[in-house]
Amino acid sequence: MRKFRQSPEHRDGPTESGDKSVTATEAQNNFGQVLGSVARGDMVYITRYDRPEAVVLSIEKFNALAGPDSSSLDDLTREFDDRLARMQSAEAAAGMDTFFELKSAELGEAALRGARRKPM
């Protein structure tokens, strides 16, 4: 397999030093080598007419790129719903009424107090 030399018009091609690029025909004829390269941690870009069309990567890299699983999404949905419910309370509405009645200097002081309490 040849190393990919990235030109300005091919910005979506390999970016890491170990990444490789092969034509679709090379990938078809040498798929065992493509899988071997992926098993060593490389990503292999498959090109057509000198443009990246697809990429072969390890399942670990795929899972990292695919993002959180559905159980994490369920947790985020519950957290959102809980926060929304708290925002709909009478106490929250009274707090917003107080907020909108503040003068600009008071609002600035409140913002500074809040920023000092929150760790960065």
Give pLDDT tens digits for 50-109.
Answer: 899 999 999 989 888 887 666 678 888 899 999 999 889 898 889 888 888 989 999 899
Distance (Å, whole) CA 116 – CA 26: 59
CA distances (Å), origin 26, targets 1, 2, 51, 78 = 8, 10, 14, 48
Domains by residue range for the chain, with CATH: 1-67 (3.40.1620.10), 68-117 (no CATH)
pTM (two decimals): 0.47
Radius of gyration of the chain (CA): 26
The CA distance from 13 to 36, in Å, is 20
47 and 53 Cβ atoms separated by less than 8 Å? yes
Residues forming beta bridges with residue 83, ordered by sequence position:
none
CA-CA-CA-CA torsion sign (39, 41, 46, 47): negative
